[in-house]
Amino acid sequence: MVYKIEWNDRKNVISCYLPEDATPDKNAMAELHQMTALEETLEKLAAVPDYFQGDAPQIEKLILTPDFHKGAGIPIGTVMMTKGFVVPQAMGNDINCGMRFYTTDLSEVKIQQNLPELTKKIRHIFFEGGRQIPMTGRQREALFRYGLEGLLETCQDSGKNGLWRYYQPKVQEKWLNRTVFRGSLNAAKTEGLEDFIGDYQQLTYDDQIGTIGGGNHFLEVQRVVEIYDGQTANAWNLKKGAVVIMLHTGSLTIGHHSGLLNRKICQEIYPVGFTQPENKIYPIPEFCTAQDAWNRFWSTSKNAANFGFANRLFLGFMIQEVFTQVLGACDMELLYDAPHNFIWKKRIDNKDYFIHRKGACCAGGCEEMDGTEFAYYGEPVMIPGSMGSSSYLLRGLGNAEALWSASHGAGRQKSRGDAMKGNDKAFHQFMEQFHVITPIDPNRTDLKGRADILKKWEESIRAEAPYAYKDIHEVIAVHTAHNMAQPVARMEPIFTVKS
């Protein structure tokens, strides 16, 4: 169903795409209502001489994806198209949080047979300092300013040290075309990142690159259990029973740094003497006397986005290292890498618009993917369920009414606090059926007497368990019913890695 919400005096309508018989979450709706006060802020600022130049700023359209739920200031699953300005909060602080999807030649039988050893290696590499990702300051600066293309230009700095042995320049160059923005957003500078960049020539290690992050972020090894679109599945190298890898993470503290800096930029250009917006949501004008603010915003946002692309790249190398050590050499082929927290510039009828996605996938159709290897099928759309449930791979249908967008997951139906309470039977049943690898091994002998540690570990798992989320199948059905995206394959987890 499409739930229509009138949100201002002009009777503009927000299209909320929901599973059948569902109603929007009250807390999310309250947050959405608070967010729409942005229009009042725009009207006040439009009266300030030279604050906006050219046409009056407009919120052109708002839609809510099927996994719509409460966020922090702006709900998750909100897609907003604007003209003349951008809103940093409408992409969130975890800039370029997104998904990466690999097909492989791995055998599920061998994985299951070697799961204890794989689990041990994963804990070491992912959580116990086993990452080996040395980089020079030159590489880090190239990464922040030019993304994956910057890494390609400077990869010789690291030689074949550590995980760089999996970095094949010719392969990586090919994979740029399977990454949104080619994983490479040119930034003018790297504001506030000098200490992180470090010595220009020396190989050093940092504690960020190759990190999953908390919350609903994960790396999951999955089996393909159903194929719905055989032609597309064949083109994308998907077969029933095959093993695939899905990654969900973002820009970590780099994104947090950029988010704070963007907020500071917004406040610095806000007119002196004006009452600050109650919702703390600020616009940055595209054309104004404060053009430096516009340029700074894009630089810092691109710095974080570029880091997010690289973070997912190295997490892929990390799981490849685990499989290689335990099972021998394996082939991992990138299908697609896409953000679901960013701002896209889109030209429509010779006018420029900005599409903000916060917890929403881009779902371009054949027209939008013209000139790429996905032009015949549409954009790959990765929609994971909750930990332990099914995930889906779809192809975008380019639905302009839905702002060329789709869900980025199932969407919470319980807050993390509520999910931690009760559900003992469901939780223990979940833990018996699914293999979840976390930094803490609850079976370690030395932890048996540490009820405090085990309690925190259990709470973190409960907060992300299936019963905390909406039914993924119902969410996918909405995409099909409203021509947002078409299912290609369904996957189920073999094991999940979570921080």
What string of pLDDT tens digits covers the 499 residues of the chain?
A: 566 666 665 556 788 887 776 777 788 889 998 998 999 999 999 888 888 887 789 999 999 999 888 888 899 999 999 999 999 999 988 999 999 999 999 999 999 999 999 999 999 999 988 999 999 999 999 999 999 999 999 999 999 999 999 999 999 999 999 999 999 999 999 999 999 999 999 999 998 999 999 888 999 999 999 999 999 999 999 999 999 999 999 999 999 999 999 999 999 999 888 889 999 999 999 876 667 899 999 999 999 999 999 999 999 999 999 999 999 999 999 999 999 999 999 999 999 999 999 999 999 999 999 999 999 999 999 999 877 789 999 999 999 999 999 999 875 555 555 555 666 666 666 666 788 898 776 666 665 666 665 566 666 666 666 666 668 888 999 999 999 999 999 999 999 999 8
Cα–Cα distance, 470 to 75 (Å, whole number): 16
DSSP state of 123: I
Query: Could you tell me which of 466, 317, 370, 408 has the C-alpha nearest to residue 99?
Result: 408
| Tokens read off for 130 | 């086993």
First-residue to last-residue Cα distance in the chain: 36
Q: Are 469 and 412 in contact (CB under 8 A)?
A: yes
Cα–Cα distance, 385 to 407 (Å, whole number): 11
Cα–Cα distance, 101 to 246 (Å, whole number): 5
How long is the chain? 499
Q: Are 98 and 336 in contact (CB under 8 A)?
A: no
pLDDT, position 386:
74
Cβ contacts of residue 83 below 8 Å, gap of 6+? 55, 57, 58, 60, 351, 352, 353, 354
Q: What's the pTM value of the predicted model, to 2 decimals?
A: 0.93
Complete DSSP assignment for 246-285? EEEE--HHHHHHHHHHHHHHHHHHSPTTSPPPTT----EE
Q: 107 to each of 113, 120, 477, how far by Cα in Å?
A: 10, 19, 30
Question: Angle formed by the axes of helices 451-462 and 424-433, to 10°?
Answer: 90
In the block, tokens 């109650």 appear at: 278
CATH superfamily of 2-413+469-497: tRNA-splicing ligase RtcB (3.90.1860.10)
Q: Are 497 and 220 in contact (CB under 8 A)?
A: yes
Query: Could you tell me which of 495, 150, 181, 486 has the C-alpha nearest to residue 339?
Result: 181
State the amino acid at position 281 in one-letter form. I
The tally of CA atoms less than 13 A away on the side-chain side of residue 460 is: 21
Extents of the domains making up the chain:
2-413+469-497
Cα–Cα distance, 432 to 348 (Å, whole number): 51
DSSP state of 307: H
Q: Are 193 and 303 in contact (CB under 8 A)?
A: yes
Other Cβ atoms closer than 10 A to 119: 18
Question: What is the radius of gyration, based on Cα positions, of the chain?
Answer: 22
In the block, tokens 């990390």 appear at: 318
| Tokens read off for 301 | 């946002």
